[in-house]
Amino acid sequence: MSISFKIHYVTVPDQVLFVVFDDGKEVPLTWTEGHYWVGNYNYEAPKHYTWHYVVRSYDSGKNLREEEIIGTREHDFVSKAQVHDWWFYPWLTEIVEDPSEKELKETEERLKREAEEAERKRKEEEERLAAEEAERKRKEEEERLRKEEEERLKKEEEERLKKEEEERLRKEEEERLRKEEEERLAAEEAERKRKELEAAKTPSPTPEEEKKKEKELKIRLCGSETNWDLFKMWTGKACCHVLYDSTVDEFTAEAFNECVGGNNSVIVFIHSQGYIFGSYTSVKIPEAGENGAEVKKDSKSFAFSFSNPYGHGAIRYICDEPDTTLKLFPNNDTENVVEVHNFFTVKQEKDKCYISKNFEKSYNETSGRGALMFVRAVEPDTFPIDELIAVKLTFNKNR
């Protein structure tokens, strides 16, 4: 028995069409006029075959293309048969067993008409789908532009409202600050008048009372008059008046800054658990304001310890790196009060103060205790502060 294949497929030079069966056998086809490929395959009936078509290179024998449809052809062959096929139209595959020439021709014409009709419908469907897709994209673009315009107008309105709100808040803040300033000035004036009135009512202290008061202050500050006398030796100045006292003034950066700003020859005392230490600034301390300030180039600055955990006597530490010494924090700082570079930092949480681990980088430490000398604790360890006092040294009581 034999199967005659006649396949309609348009190729280019150097292409050959093959029928490939599922058992691996192949039938090479020969090109004929009208782009038909023909060939015969002998078999023993009955036989069920599944097959597909492959285009190969005539020279290299490599597969160039396999048919561009889903699935394969299959048939139960029982006698001599003819397979008339179209590459792109598997539904038009026709298998005729022992057809006459007339029937074969009629079948070919019918299949051709059916193929043309199928192609026409396919193109119409493609055009319909393309038109629908174009219309869909047009509507999507219109919708996108509409939404963009809505979003633009919405943002413009939000910006306008935001600016109006910012302007309102700005004016409210200006008014609030103006009122606060008026209240502050009024309070200062009232306090000044109150102090003047008290001063007028309070009798002047006697020389003995003044001397006693001065002695008590020196002992409170330094632990003894002997320690206080060291300041005269170190600075040439023996008198003082208090600028800031944490037991009276607010424990904030702003309060400290207002008290010491604009003064020179200032000693900052720290009292902690019976220990007394601090720092001396010889030059004028700048006003801090909202940005804070630092004392620069103070070659006469030094640190000191009068009472310490090791029972060591009074010590003065010369500042070897005076580029930056006393540091004032911004007035609105809510964590810190004051700092001396590479020495100590006083925090508003009184038990969170600490001694810098870099003390020996800036100061001439000769005791061998290093930064531990002051409270036997170095950052990250902290210490509690009992009192923070700042005084201004003068040559006599009237200066």
Which numeric CATH code is attached to 2-99?
A: 2.60.40.10
3-class secondary-structure state, position 98 = coil
pLDDT digits (tens, 9 = 90+) for 231-255: 889 998 878 889 999 999 999 999 9
**pLDDT at 130 (0 to 100):** 93
pLDDT digits (tens, 9 = 90+) for 136-183: 999 999 999 999 999 999 999 999 999 999 999 999 999 999 999 999
Give the C-alpha distances (Å, rounded to integers) separating 64 from 55, 69, 168, 235.
5, 15, 76, 102
**Residue boundaries of the structural domains of the chain:** 2-99, 221-394
3-class secondary-structure state, position 363 = strand
DSSP state of 371: G
More confident residue, 87 or 49: 49
The structure's pTM equals: 0.51
* Of 359, 361, 352, the residue nearest 380 (C-alpha): 352
Q: Is the pLDDT reported for residue 36 higher than 80?
A: yes
Using a 10 angstrom Cβ sphere, with 0-12 exposed, 13-18 middle and 19 or more buried, the burial of residue 398 is exposed
CA 35/CA 86 separation, integer angstroms? 11
CA 385/CA 376 separation, integer angstroms? 14
More confident residue, 399 or 379: 379
Q: Is the pLDDT reported for residue 200 higher than 80?
A: no
Give the C-alpha distances (Å, rounded to integers) separating 194 from 197, 200, 306.
5, 10, 38
Residue type at 138 in one-letter notation: R
Please give the angle made by the CA atoms of 251, 255 and 256, to the nearest 5 degrees: 85
DSSP 150-174: HHHHHHHHHHHHHHHHHHHHHHHHH
Mean pLDDT of the chain: 89
Ranking 187-201, 236-250, 282-296 by mean pLDDT, the lowest is 187-201
**pLDDT at 101 (0 to 100):** 46
CA 94/CA 103 separation, integer angstroms? 12
